[in-house]
Amino acid sequence: MSEPVLSLRGVERVYKTEAGDLPVLRGVDIDVYPGEVVGLIGPSGSGKSSLLHSAGLLERPDAGIVALGGRDCSKLSERVRTRIRLGTVGFVYQFHHLLPEFTALENVAMPGLIAGRSWQVAEARALELLGELGLTARVNHQPAQMSGGEQQRVAIARALANKPQLLLADEPTGNLDPTTSAAVFQSLYSLARGQGVAALIATHNMDLARYMDRVFALKDGYLAPQTF
């Protein structure tokens, strides 16, 4: 088997609040491999977003190891963590956060331009991804001219623009109706598999979780495999 893209070992996260320490992750272990789509479920407040934030180097865990591509990132400087994050991780959120004044094509090309690629290269990658997501006819539309499902597909394309090894998605279909949610999830799943990306997807949607390659449930700060 190939090496995991993401490895968490003994990850702990404790928030300091006025009411005292709030331990959210107490010792999380997980490996996510290239080309697999792994689900993360758990009740509201169980720490799914916190786990994704630690995994994506947006937050530092209070203890434990967060390794991307076999490299422990938990103790690296913020500058190095940011560089690794930009080169390795793509994020999708519940709300698309597209730039409203730019077209779908420009929104998806943007990460490539920011990474220093030419417009031709960034545009070609954006057109490829939007095409795979069935959005060729929408490339020149602005977000307000697209449906919720189309907007979220554009956000998925944008997350994959710089060919990340890891895709982290936090309730990526949480804002969509059930039919659109299933269709967008199917697009995300096929694209992630096709691109060989390791995907970790937090969701409340058990119907979608069933279609994932593996699912883990977060409870009381620990992960356990979920069977259906």
Ligand X SMILES: Nc1ncnc2c1ncn2[C@@H]1O[C@H](COP(=O)(O)OP(=O)(O)OP(=O)(O)O)[C@@H](O)[C@H]1O
Residue 226 contacts ligand X per CB under 6 A = no
Question: Which of these ranges, 41-49, 85-93, 99-107, 187-195, lies near ligand X under the rule CB under 6 A?
Answer: 41-49
**Interface with ligand X (CB under 6 A), residue from 46, 152, 187, 226:** 46
Residue 45 contacts ligand X per CB under 6 A = yes
Q: Which residues, 6 or more positions from 92, have their beta carbon under 8 angstroms from its beta carbon?
A: 152, 155, 156, 159, 167, 168, 169, 170, 172, 188
Question: Smallest distance, Å, CB 147 to ligand X?
Answer: 24
**Interface with ligand X (CB under 6 A), residue from 1, 19, 20, 44:** 44
**Interface with ligand X (CB under 6 A), residue from 4, 39, 42, 164:** 42
Question: Smallest distance, Å, CB 154 to ligand X?
Answer: 23
Do 22 and 14 form a contact (C-beta atoms < 8 A)?
yes
Residue 54 contacts ligand X per CB under 6 A = no
Burial of 202 (0-12, 13-18, 19+ CB in 10 A): buried
Query: For ligand X, which is the closer residue by CB, 22 or 99?
Result: 22
Q: How many CB atoms lie within 10 A of CB 147?
A: 11
In this structure, what is the dihedral angle of CA atoms 220, 199, 156, 66, given to the nearest 10 degrees?
70
Question: Smallest distance, Å, CB 64 to ligand X?
Answer: 16
Rounded Cα distance, 152 and 168, in Å = 14
Residue 149 contacts ligand X per CB under 6 A = no
**Interface with ligand X (CB under 6 A), residue from 22, 99, 115, 206:** 22
Q: Which residues, 6 or more positions from 45, have their beta carbon under 8 angstroms from its beta carbon?
A: none
**Interface with ligand X (CB under 6 A), residue from 6, 8, 11, 24:** 24
Which residue in the block uniquely carries the two structure tokens 């500058």? 79
Query: For ligand X, which is the closer residue by CB, 44 or 120?
Result: 44
- Smallest Cα–Cα separation from 75: which of 83, 84, 66? 66
Residue 40 contacts ligand X per CB under 6 A = no
Residue 15 contacts ligand X per CB under 6 A = yes
Residues that bind ligand X (CB under 6 A): 15, 17, 22, 24, 42, 44-50
